[in-house]
Structure 1
Amino acid sequence: MNFFLVLSGKRLKRSLIAVVSLLFAAGIFYVEQKDIQVFLPLESGPVAIYSVDTSDKVIALTFDISWGEERAAPILEVLKENEIKKATFFLSSPWAESHPDIVKSIGDMGYEIGSHGHRHTNYSTLEEQEIRTEIMKAHQALTHLTGKEPKLIRFPNGDFDKRVLKTADQLGYTTIQWDTDSRDWMNPGKEKIIQRVTSKAHPGDIILMHASDSSKQTAEALPEIIRTLRSQGYTFVTVSELISGAEADVNPVE
């Protein structure tokens, strides 16, 4: 006697779903057994980096320069006196072209140089071709002055949108922001700058300071900032070192 198994359409569908589910579960078990980790991106498209998620007590001092010639040299002297061998300077190209000697000093001291763009304007207000032009003007100038192509960019006023991030990414740049703003550009007094930075600093932090002439108290506050952070166990690194192989803290961009 022959027996035949007849499956209706619904039964067949349920059976296939059950098989797929079992295979999926087996796949998960295999991944867990093999200790394979799969990461899905939390953000779609390029992002700006504000800090990194790490338990290591590493921190990046960063300095923006867009104009003036009186503040950069004293800051470099403070860094030298305190044996800070790692820091990152974001330079606007018109300033850099007007002060090649200071740019050379920054490079000779081993500090990292990133781009601060060309015109000091809000890039989110520009057309996409203008954004590209501004980034490339700065890129060409800084490459010529330093002999190295910058890979990091911090936009003027920290201003950007998705178009700006996308254009920078297409041109090979990583956009860098900050998690601790010293607010030294407000000239609130040396003690307030020190207190703000040392109270907010944390592992993986990117600290924003300025070496433009508008920031008159940075060099005065910097020695105590360095001493305090060192006493707390921090090591100073460049931004590139900080973000290399680390999980970045990013904020969604509307």
Structure 2
Amino acid sequence: MHFAVVKSRTIKIVIAMIIVCALLAATFSGAHLAEVFFGYSTRLVPIYNVETDEKKVAISFDAAWGADKTEGILDILKEYDVKATFFLVGFWVDEYPDTVKKIDEAGIEIGTHSNKHPDMVKLSRENIAQELTTSISKIEAITNKKVKLFRPPFGSYNNTLIEESEKLGLKTIQWDVDTLDWKGLSGSEMCKRVTNKVKNGSIILMHNNSDNILDGLRQILDRLKMQGYEVTSVGNLVYESDYSIDRNGVQHKN
């Protein structure tokens, strides 16, 4: 009889624990559950590339210093009838407002690359928000279009940075193909790097004022066309909603 009572109590305890776990699961995401039970939170990751069956890639340009070659880039993009994304730093927008307007009028997407190009993981939440909102305001004042994308300076990020960008409705964007154009590589060297690494859903990183950017861009676009890729903007490549990002930064459609 005593055994039966103990057994009954044990069953009730187990059932109660199952109910509690079910309620927690309904209340928290998987990441939050990990934090509740194990004392740590899931590491957030930007979008490095996109899982897609479409033979489509995005080209992006970071603009922080100099603008001599920007109009040449726009001319080449128009010649090849492709879109791209420029990530602009706030002080660059201040210095080259007419160029920002030309980028926008060419139908090229514009995202923010911060306001002063600091290593933003070293900033407080308040200063991160200020960097983002200030740069966004400068861009939107010229384009009258909502900024939806953010690329962290130096590719440096942490959970706090991604959380603050998400609060502003921004997707944080990295890259999976780096041309290393800023190192002074020749156009053919840049093209070779892209050819060796590119795949469906890749995001290619370039800089608007690197030494051989115009030759490199032309060679890259020629090669991508030969390989059957559609070249587009980051915004046209990534999924707008109903997606997940795995630990390697690959964006998946749910």
Q: Do Structure 1 and Structure 2 share a fold, with TM-score over 0.5? A: yes
- CA drift of 1:49 comes to 0.6
Partner of 1:237: 232
Q: Would the alpha carbon gap of residues 82 and 171 (structure 1) be closer, same or farther in structure 2, given more than 3 Å must change?
A: same
How far apart in 1 are the matches of 2:246 and 2:204? 14
Q: TM-score, normalised by structure 1?
A: 0.80
Q: Would the alpha carbon gap of residues 107 and 47 (structure 1) be closer, same or farther in structure 2, given more than 3 Å must change?
A: same
How far apart in 2 are the matches of 1:126 and 1:17? 46
One-letter amino acid of the counterpart of residue 223, structure 1:
R
One-letter amino acid of the counterpart of residue 224, structure 1:
Q
Partner of 1:219: 214
Partner of 2:26: none
Q: Is the 8 A contact 1:53 1:248 kept in 2?
A: no
Q: TM-score, normalised by structure 2?
A: 0.80
Partner of 2:110: 113
Report the secondary structure of 1:204's partner residue.
Answer: coil
One-letter amino acid of the counterpart of residue 192, structure 1:
E
Aligned pair count reads 226
- CA drift of 1:69 comes to 2.1
Q: 1:76 aligns with which of 59, 74, 77?
A: 74
How far apart in 2 are the matches of 1:108 and 1:52? 27
How far apart in 2 are the matches of 1:162 and 1:117? 17
Deviations 1:33-53 (A, max 9, x none): xxxxxx967984753110011
How far apart in 2 are the matches of 1:14 and 1:235? 60
Any stretches of 5+ residues in structure 2 without a counterpart?
19-28, 35-40, 250-254
Q: Is the 8 A contact 1:51 1:248 kept in 2?
A: no
Deviations 1:45-66 (A, max 9, x none): 7531100112211100001101
- CA drift of 1:79 comes to 1.0
- CA drift of 1:217 comes to 0.6
- CA drift of 1:106 comes to 1.1
Q: Would the alpha carbon gap of residues 170 and 11 (structure 1) be closer, same or farther in structure 2, given more than 3 Å must change?
A: same
Q: Would the alpha carbon gap of residues 149 and 45 (structure 1) be closer, same or farther in structure 2, given more than 3 Å must change?
A: farther
Q: 2:181 aligns with which of 176, 181, 184?
A: 184
- Percent identity, aligned pairs only? 34
How far apart in 1 are the matches of 2:228 and 2:13? 58
How far apart in 1 are the matches of 2:185 and 2:77? 22
One-letter amino acid of the counterpart of residue 211, structure 2:
K
- CA drift of 1:98 comes to 1.7
Q: Is the 8 A contact 2:179 2:190 kept in 1?
A: yes
Any stretches of 5+ residues in structure 1 without a counterpart?
1-5, 22-38
How far apart in 1 are the matches of 2:43 and 2:141? 30
Range moving further from structure 2, 6-15 or 230-239: 6-15
- CA drift of 1:97 comes to 2.2
Report the secondary structure of 1:197's partner residue.
Answer: helix
Partner of 2:64: 66
Report the secondary structure of 1:48's partner residue.
Answer: coil
Larger Rg belongs to: 1
Q: Is the 8 A contact 1:64 1:211 kept in 2?
A: yes
Q: What is the correspondence of 1:63-142 to structure 2 with a 5 Å cutoff?
A: 63-84=61-82, 86-142=83-139
